[in-house]
Every structure is written in structure tokens, then in C-alpha cells.
Amino acid sequence: MPAPTRAIGLLCALLSAPVAQATPILDQEHAPTGNFGALSVASDRTQVQTFTVGNSGVLTRIAVQVARQPLTSENLDLSVWSTDAEGMPKDLLSAASVPVSALDPPSTFPFVAFDLSVRVPVAQGDLLAIELDSAAPNDLPPPAPSVRYLWQWGGDYAGGTASSRVGASVLPQQEDLHFRTFVEPKTE
């Protein structure tokens, strides 16, 4: 076989070989232990937590410490956003959803993982925003509070801030929401 033909065959074999991917690592975490409260996630309010990326690579998964209430039936929706100059969500980068059946029994606060539908390239120092939302009603009269989600809240995360969006109003929070981000590190 002539050398150019062998070289082309080798090049084709290399290009079609599976690409090795790095295993995602825990990049950012705000999960203090203690007796903390929670913020409602429902049709009338979206919770937002910003975070600063620690490792360049690809953001693949986000986990949030969240509970469902006894009558919850709607999906829980997570989205990842770039941020504007004020640190507020700007451009949608990726989204994921989990059914209520993916959560533990009511009123427990496990970390619920969302594998992102679109993997997000990130660089160290990027400020991104996590939004958590649901179509679950939160209006009175009862049983509305029994159908919403609750996102664990408390402690201070130095790399971001939390806020609640209720209609057009944005309400800054004094403490931060509990989350974990996972990045596939950039390989040379």
C-alpha cells in the first residue's frame, strides 16, 4: 500500500476513534450543614443562585438541594444562564427537567442532579446563574403550599448571590441556595 494511502487510512481511523472525555469533577459547592430554611419554587416565583466557575472545561451537571411537598405533581425545571453586568441572568445556556418521581419522599432535602441538555463550555472565573422553576401552584387557599418545591437556603457562598424573582420584581437574599456544579476539566 502506498504511503499516502496508509496515511489517509490512519488519519481516518484516528478521526473516527472515540474521543476520551475527562470525568466530571465537583467544581463549586455550597452545602453547609445545619438547620436551614428553604425558599419556594413555584409558578409565581423563580429562585436564582449565581456561582463563579473554578475550573475551565465543560459544565455537564448541576445538583440542587431541594424538597417536594406532599401534593407536588409538576416537573422541576433548572436552567443555566450567562450573567449581565449586574450579575443577573442574561442568555440561556442550557436547561434540564426532572419529574417529581425523581425526588425522594416529601419534605426531605436530597441533592437532585440535573444532567444538562446542552453541555456548557466554561472558563475559570465565569459568573453563571442557576434558575430553578416549576409550574407548581403556590397560591392560597390551601392546598397550594402543599404542591410547591422548596430549595434549601442558608449560609454564605463567597462566589455568588441568591435572589428570588416574583413577577417582574427581583428580591436579593441575604444567604445562598445550596447547590453543586460539575465540570469536565479542560484537557491539553
* 8-67: pLDDT as tens digits: 444 444 444 444 457 999 999 999 998 899 999 998 899 999 999 999 999 999 999 999
Q: What is the pTM of this model?
A: 0.85
pLDDT for residue 142: 61
How confident is the model over 108-120, as a mean pLDDT? 94
Instruction: Output phi, psi for 58, to 5 deg.
Output: -130, 120
Q: What is the DSSP string of 129-168?
A: EEEEEE-----SSTTGGGTSEEEEE-S--TT--EEEEETT
Measured distance between the N- and C-terminal CA atoms of the chain, rounded to whole angstroms = 34
pLDDT for residue 167: 87
β-bridge mates for residue 67, sequence order: 150
With 50 as the cut, is the pLDDT of residue 115 above it?
A: yes
Instruction: Name the band, by pLDDT with cuts 50, 70 and 90, for residue 137.
Output: confident
* 152-172: pLDDT as tens digits: 999 999 999 999 999 889 999
pLDDT for residue 3: 53
CA distance 108 to 38: 11
With 80 as the cut, is the pLDDT of residue 150 above it?
A: yes
Minimum mean pLDDT range among 71-85, 100-114, 134-148: 134-148
User: Which percentage of the chain shows pLDDT scores above 70?
Assistant: 85
